[in-house]
Amino acid sequence: MIFDTHAHYDDEAFKKDRHELLMSLREHGIEAVVNVSSNIASVQSTLDLIKKYPFVYGAIGIHPNETAELDDEKIEWLRGAAAVQKIVAVGEIGLDYYWDEPEREIQKNWFVRQLGLARETKLPVIIHSRDAAKDTLDIMKAEKSGDIGGVIHCFSYGTEMAREYLNMGFFLGIGGVLTFQNGKKLKEVAEYTPLEQIVLETDCPYLSPAPNRGKRNSSLNLPYVVTALAEIKNITEQEVIEVTANNAKRLYRLERIN
């Protein structure tokens, strides 16, 4: 069954039908989901979701564009949240120069601090990096992030940058962009990357694959990504599903899910 390694089901976009949608996933071949937080409020809502749904796991962390809200007290609160059962990663954390706020030094500071949190709590990291390729890699190398492990979420750079992260032992998160007509760069990365280092993700409610591009995304759309990846790799869809699900469990250090 399919493992969605990165979703935001606490988002307002799911307010009207969240429970019904989540309860329908398994019958549509979705085995498990990791709900990923982006600010303090979403950490709490993620904690609520993982208590309510056995197949939903959580990641706690502050998105780079939200890091202005961080301080030492909140980092300590995050450390406590990281110890909660079913929290499987620190994320999403990183750098975002597309929106370029707050100022870059603030983003960098809290990126480093949250990498340290992951190291202390022995959790993998979910890395968000947008228009910040060099600074993200430089920080991750300086912090020896290969020892921490994790995934580069919504990978958006080329094969040279992919090689750097793959050599560090990271997984690459691939989702709906793989199906876009203008997704040539990601298709090249998907072809280059060993299947054993790819995990599937939605980033829902964002980044719906074709033919649903522009609509609300959900884990139900992941079969479109599976089909695209199977075609690129010239393998069966079932192999894509099985290998990427096993990859997700290795990434998040989960025992076998029944």
Token pair 């303090």 is found at 40
CB 111 within 8 A of CB 94: yes
The answer to whether residue 256 is domain-embedded is no
| Average pLDDT, integer, range 138-146 | 98
23 vs 21: CA distance, rounded Å: 5
Please tell me the total count of domains within the chain: 1
Tell me the pLDDT band of 256, cut-offs 50, 70 and 90: low
The answer to whether residue 241 is domain-embedded is yes
The predicted-structure confidence for 185-239, as pLDDT tens digits, reads as follows 999 999 999 999 999 999 999 999 999 999 999 999 999 999 999 999 999 999 9
CATH of the domain at 70: 3.20.20.140
The residue segments making up the domain with residue 90 are 2-251
96 vs 69: CA distance, rounded Å: 16
Tell me the pLDDT band of 257, cut-offs 50, 70 and 90: low
CB 213 within 8 A of CB 180: yes
Instruction: Report the mean per-residue pLDDT for the chain.
Output: 97
| Average pLDDT, integer, range 120-141 | 98
Supply the pLDDT for residue 64. Answer: 98
147 vs 21: CA distance, rounded Å: 37
With 90 as the cut, is the pLDDT of residue 24 above it?
yes
| Average pLDDT, integer, range 150-176 | 98
Supply the pLDDT for residue 161. Answer: 98
Q: Which are the contacts of 46, defined by CB distance < 8 A and separation ≥ 6? A: 10, 35, 36, 37, 58, 59, 60
CB-facing half-sphere around the CA of 179: CA atoms within 13 A? 22
The answer to whether residue 257 is domain-embedded is no
Instruction: Provide, rounded to the nearest whole percent, the portion of the chain with pLDDT above 70.
Output: 99
> In 3D, which of 99, 106, 104 has the Cα closest to residue 68?
106
With 80 as the cut, is the pLDDT of residue 19 above it?
yes
pTM assigned to the model: 0.97
Task: Specify which residues 96 forms β-bridges with.
Answer: 130
The answer to whether residue 258 is domain-embedded is no
